[in-house]
Structure 1
Amino acid sequence: MAKVRTRFAPSPTGFLHIGSLRTALYAFALSKHDMGDFILRIEDTDQKREVEGSVEALQKALKKFGLVWDELYIQSERLPLYKKAAEKLVKDGHAYFCQCDSKDLRNPCRDKDYTSGAVRLKVPDEQTVSYRDFVHKKEISWNTDTVYDATLLKSDGFPTYHLAAMVDDLDMKISHILRGHDWLPSTPIHLLIFDYLEGKRPEIGHLTDILSGETGKKLSKRRDSVFVEQFLEQGYLPEAVLNFVMLLGWASKDNRELFTLEEFVEHFDIDGFQEANPRFFYDKLDWFNGSYIRQKSDDELFELLTSFIPKGADQKVVNQVIPLIKDRIKKLSDFGPLAGFFFEKPEVDKKLLGKNYKEHLTKALEAIEKDILLDP
């Protein structure tokens, strides 16, 4: 049996998306369950979209969640490999040079004999391309008459995703590809490239979309918190976020919910993938986080709360307060609302008390003192 090799292939365009964390987690578990290899591949061929510092941020985030890779590749360092593959496709009649920007399904340049320009895939007519999706557990097919001649190599010599990712998957001997559902329409293009490059097709699985629990719509960068760094800044523990993400599209046979990463890898099974789109409920994430917080000792929780404790707070008081709120705290940032009054005098809006608030308070104190004196 061939060794299981999976990859997580992010583009360095910003912070780590919660959906990308799920892809990385499932790819990691799939490979490690069978003692295989987990590959990190930085897909940086679209230089215009690259955000400075993103590569380092992505690596730091993955390590924080325990998703350590066995091999690392940077696509921009592998350009000759993609050029060679494009030349082979042209030579074998499966691609052609293009010197126009036509959006037609069948580019007019495919019938010309250009020897320079961008390289496009020469999609055959009236053929069926199909594969079995191991997430959705069904055969999916396309008629090539609906598949366009995709650009493989741009005129500047940089490959598009269609070429670079498929060449790398073959060269790195990737056995299983896990990726987002939005890549499904491009799959026939990728299957043709695998076949034309005479390589063994990897197994392919497309993960379901993560929906907002409130709106039922796909998670949006504009509407929702979607980056893992945002959750960590709000006081969610990495192990809680990871456990929550485990169940966004996968379920164990016994419906168990709490897993460490090691336990998840041990129990992972591709039959556990769900076909229905999972919904992201903050209440559920809070439940996971609260569960992990209560597993911490008071000393461990003190260390985790460091950045959420008011400056200048008495450490002894903090240590006394932690046991009082431990059963109620859902995320670390709750410390202020739950215990802040122990350290900072709350501001009172005197307008709410009225003009004669001093008189009212004096009478209230006198009444309390009178009750105390009369109490036998």
Structure 2
Amino acid sequence: MPKNLEIIKGGYFKLDHTDRTVRVRFAPSPTGPLHIGGARSALFNWLFARKHGGTFLVRIEDTDVERSSMVSEEVILEDLKWLGMNWDEGILVGGDKGPYRQSERLSLYKPFWEKLLEEGKVYHCFCTEEELEAERESLRKKGKMPRYLGRCRDLTPEKREELRKEGRKPVVRFKVSEGEIIRIDDLIRGEVDFESDGIGDFIIVKSDGIPTYNFAVVLDDALMEISHVIRGEEHLSNTPRQVLLYRALNLRVPVFAHISLILGEDRTKMSKRHGATSISQYRDMGFLPEGLINFLVLLGWAPEGEREIFSLEELVKEFSLERVSKSAAVFNHKKLDWMNSEYIKKSSPERITDLALPFLQEAGLIKTQINEEEYDWLKQVISLLQEQLDYVSQIVSLIKIFFGDKVEKILPEGAEVMNEEKSRQVAARFGEEVLKEQTWDLSVIKDVFKRIGKELGVGGKKLFQPVRVGLTGSLQGPDLQNLILLLGRERVAKRLKNTLDRADA
């Protein structure tokens, strides 16, 4: 019978965790932007902390010196703040368990691995990459799991000195006992067993003295008194190594909860080919933070009932890890668009106008500096188009019908309407009549339609569609009378004349 290292609810001793304060963390590596999966992990941690009156901590894991950058770190932290996930402790805000950047904690790790070395739980390994690859290849040929078999475990002091003189710089490896079952009681996945024989002796300190991820994360979580580790499923395979380190160091083991993967709509792992994958990309497209938050939480978490729209405050109240699924979540772009559009509809015209301005200025439709009157006109236009937006950058294509004296394109169904009896007369007379008006409001526009309808003996679609097509080239669009009001008399008259002239050419 293999020895059973049973980890019961995060501890190798029975523990229900009612005695420990909730402390969770989000620990991104600054090697790129904040991706959808990372943002969801941060959100689940944030909600869990808020739900239980605990602490949400953010630290930076930047020991991958070649790939880490301050630019990426700044982008990640800015995106977290934009999403509304303020943190209580950690990078930028401080705390009594720092530093909160891993590269600034290197001196803290050495005493721990030196202690393990003294106790014989780790050892120096001098194997070259070529020797290790030959060993892996040999195991693959035998149909076995590639792993380190412990060649340097029992080197004599003389042999170690000889290898050092050859110029070999050793790594530090952890000794993994054979024939053990490591059981993790995961809050989401239930009991998960790992065989120690499939792990092999793993590296905890690289030859340059930098600790590996598994060693550093164990010490950081322990020293920062993290109670629950809520993270992506891709980290599940690291968990048995980390549990063995906790035990060897006699440190308290946190509770683990591994969230499922996020898949594209083709049910393959989410990647750039599925579209935007980072929070900053969605931010730059004009998605609202509350729309993204609401969508992200539903990637794996299922609320009670059929309701799908939740404010952040409501999510704090409703969220629980018990309702997080083991099954992979599918990223549905159409659902995200719909959900974000619901939040855009609820937003004030002022907010959407302010968000829309940079897009309109970049497109050259609006000046860099606009006065109060121009802003008020733009706000009215955007209020008219707001319900059609899935995300704010779409405003550029929708708003073009409010600029210029010519219709860009007359669609086929629009051309059919203009060829109907009296359609051109209606459009021509409307253009003539609006110029005669001294005042300009919705009641005046209604009166002009009424006069022309009576004069030409037309009503309903026969009256309104020729004017809409003459002004937009389409049968679809925003409320017609408000469109006319915001275009103004002169532009309405010019545009109708240009459309008629084009049709006659």
Common topology (TM > 0.5) = yes
Deviates more, 1:264-273 or 1:311-320: 311-320
Unaligned regions of 5+ residues in structure 2, if any?
1-18, 91-99, 134-146, 162-168, 413-418, 430-454, 458-505
What is residue 83 of structure 2 aligned with on the other side?
65
Amino acid at match of 2:180: Q
Structure-1 separation of matches of 2:330 and 2:313 = 25
Q: Which of 97, 113, 129 is equivalent to 2:124?
A: 97
RMSD of the TM alignment (CA)? 2.5
Amino acid at match of 1:302: T
Write the mapping of 1:14-29 to structure 2, written as runs, cut at 5 A: 14-29=32-47
Write the mapping of 1:203-282 to structure 2, written as runs, cut at 5 A: 203-213=255-265, 215-282=266-333
Larger Rg: 2
What is residue 58 of structure 2 aligned with on the other side?
40
Amino acid at match of 2:101: I
What is residue 107 of structure 1 aligned with on the other side?
150
Structure 2 residue 335 is the aligned partner of structure 1 residue 284: yes
Structure 2 residue 395 is the aligned partner of structure 1 residue 335: yes
Unaligned regions of 5+ residues in structure 1, if any?
354-362
Report the identity percentage. Answer: 36
Amino acid at match of 2:20: A
Structure 2 residue 208 is the aligned partner of structure 1 residue 148: no
Amino acid at match of 1:14: G
Structure-2 separation of matches of 1:13 and 1:273 = 28
Deviates more, 1:287-296 or 1:334-343: 334-343
Alpha-carbon shift at residue 315 of structure 1 (Å): 2.9
Q: Which of 116, 122, 127 is equivalent to 2:180?
A: 127
Deviates more, 1:321-330 or 1:189-198: 321-330
Per the alignment, do residues 130 and 344 of structure 1 end up closer, same or farther by CA in structure 2, a change over 3 Å counting? farther
Amino acid at match of 2:174: L
> Contact between 1:15 and 1:58, CA under 8 Å: does it hold in 2?
yes
> Contact between 1:83 and 1:153, CA under 8 Å: does it hold in 2?
no
Per the alignment, do residues 366 and 256 of structure 1 end up closer, same or farther by CA in structure 2, a change over 3 Å counting? closer
Q: Which of 240, 265, 269 is equivalent to 1:188?
A: 240
Q: Which of 366, 382, 385 is equivalent to 1:311?
A: 366
3-state SS, counterpart of residue 2 of structure 1: coil
Amino acid at match of 2:456: D
Alpha-carbon shift at residue 90 of structure 1 (Å): 1.5
Q: Which of 21, 35, 42 is equivalent to 1:3?
A: 21
Give me the TM-score of the superposition, normalised by structure 2. 0.68
Alpha-carbon shift at residue 148 of structure 1 (Å): 2.0
Per the alignment, do residues 372 and 295 of structure 1 end up closer, same or farther by CA in structure 2, a change over 3 Å counting? closer
Per the alignment, do residues 145 and 335 of structure 1 end up closer, same or farther by CA in structure 2, a change over 3 Å counting? same
Per the alignment, do residues 346 and 150 of structure 1 end up closer, same or farther by CA in structure 2, a change over 3 Å counting? farther
3-state SS, counterpart of residue 109 of structure 1: coil
What is residue 13 of structure 1 aligned with on the other side?
31
Per the alignment, do residues 345 and 38 of structure 1 end up closer, same or farther by CA in structure 2, a change over 3 Å counting? farther
Per the alignment, do residues 332 and 46 of structure 1 end up closer, same or farther by CA in structure 2, a change over 3 Å counting? same
Structure-1 separation of matches of 2:118 and 2:324 = 41
Give me the TM-score of the superposition, normalised by structure 1. 0.90
Alpha-carbon shift at residue 346 of structure 1 (Å): 6.5
Per the alignment, do residues 345 and 163 of structure 1 end up closer, same or farther by CA in structure 2, a change over 3 Å counting? farther
Per the alignment, do residues 372 and 239 of structure 1 end up closer, same or farther by CA in structure 2, a change over 3 Å counting? closer
3-state SS, counterpart of residue 66 of structure 2: helix
3-state SS, counterpart of residue 256 of structure 2: strand
